[in-house]
C-alpha cells in the first residue's frame, strides 16, 4: 500500500487527505501536501536541535505540532511517538523524551515517503 491509501489505513478508518484530494483541484492539493512535507520535516528537525541543547519546552511544542499533523495524515506511528515525547517533556521527564527521539526519525521518514508518493 502506498500514498493516501497507506496513510489512511493507519488512521483506523479516518480518511483525511483522501476527501481533501477529491474536492480540491490537483494544484491546490499538491500545495497542501507540500506544506505538510515542509512543516513535518521542519518540526522533526526542531525537535532534534532542541534536544541537543536541552530546550525541552521547544521539544514539547514541536512534538505537539508534529503529533497534530501526523495525526491528521493518519500516520499512527509518528503520531504516537510525538505524543509520548510531548507528554514526557510536559511531565518534566526530559530523559524519557531523549530516549524516544531516535525512534522518531524513521517514523517521520516513513510519513514523508508516503507524502512524497501522494504528491507525485
Partner 1 sequence: MSEVETRHVLLVEDTLPLAKSYIEFLKSSPYTVEHVETGRKALNALKRGECDVMLLDINLPDMSGLDVLARMAEVGSTCPVVVITAHGSIKLAVDAMRAGAADFLVKPFNAQRLKIALANLFERLAIESARPASRAETRPLQPAQPEAVTGFIGSSPVMQSIYRVIEAAAPSKASVFITGESGTGKELTAEAIHRAGPRRDKPIVALNCAAVPRELMESEIFGHVKGAFSGAVTDRDGAAALADGGTLFLDELCDMHLDLQAKLLRFLQDQSFRPVGGTELKKVDVRFIAATNKEPLEEVAEGRLREDLYYRLHVIPITMPPLRERQEDVIDIAQHFLAAASLEENKSFARLSEEVKAMFRAYNWPGNVRQLQNVIRNIVVMHEGETVTPEMLPAPLDRVAIPRVFKAVG
Among 44, 65, 81, 97, which residue interacts with partner 1 (rule: CB under 8 A)? 65
Candidate ranges 46-54, 67-75, 91-99, 102-110; the one touching partner 1 (CB under 8 A):
67-75
Residue 47, judged by CB atoms within 10 A of its CB (0-12, 13-18, 19+), counts as: buried
Q: Which of 41, 25, 35, 33 is nearest to 120 (CA)?
A: 33
- Nearer of residues 35 and 99 to partner 1, judged by Cβ: 35
Estimate to the nearest angstrom the gap between the alpha carbon of 119 and the chain centroid: 16
Site string for partner 1, 13-42 (x = CB under 8 A): -xxx--xx--xx---x---x--xx--xx--
Rounded to whole angstroms, how far apart are CA atoms 48 and 63? 10
Site string for partner 1, 78-117 (x = CB under 8 A): -----x----------------------------------
| Polymer length in residues for the chain | 120
Is residue 64 a contact point for partner 1 (CB under 8 A)? Answer: yes
Spell out the residues 6+ positions from residue 103 whose beta carbon is closer than 8 angstroms to its own: 81
Q: List the one residue from 6, 55, 58, 68 that touches partner 1 (CB under 8 A).
A: 68
Amino acid at each position: 500500500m502506498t500514498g493516501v491509501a497507506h496513510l489512511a489505513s493507519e488512521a483506523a478508518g479516518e480518511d483525511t487527505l483522501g476527501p481533501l484530494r477529491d474536492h480540491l483541484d490537483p494544484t491546490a492539493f499538491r500545495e497542501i501536501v507540500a506544506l505538510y512535507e515542509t512543516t513535518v520535516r521542519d518540526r522533526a528537525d526542531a525537535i532534534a536541535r532542541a534536544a541537543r541543547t536541552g530546550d525541552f519546552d521547544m521539544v514539547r511544542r514541536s512534538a505537539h505540532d508534529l503529533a497534530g499533523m501526523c495525526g491528521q495524515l493518519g500516520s499512527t506511528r509518528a503520531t504516537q511517538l510525538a505524543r509520548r515525547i510531548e507528554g514526557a517533556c510536559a511531565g518534566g521527564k526530559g530523559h524519557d523524551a531523549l530516549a524516544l527521539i531516535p525512534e522518531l526519525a524513521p517514523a517521520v521518514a516513513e510519513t514523508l515517503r508516503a507524502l512524497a508518493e501522494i504528491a507525485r
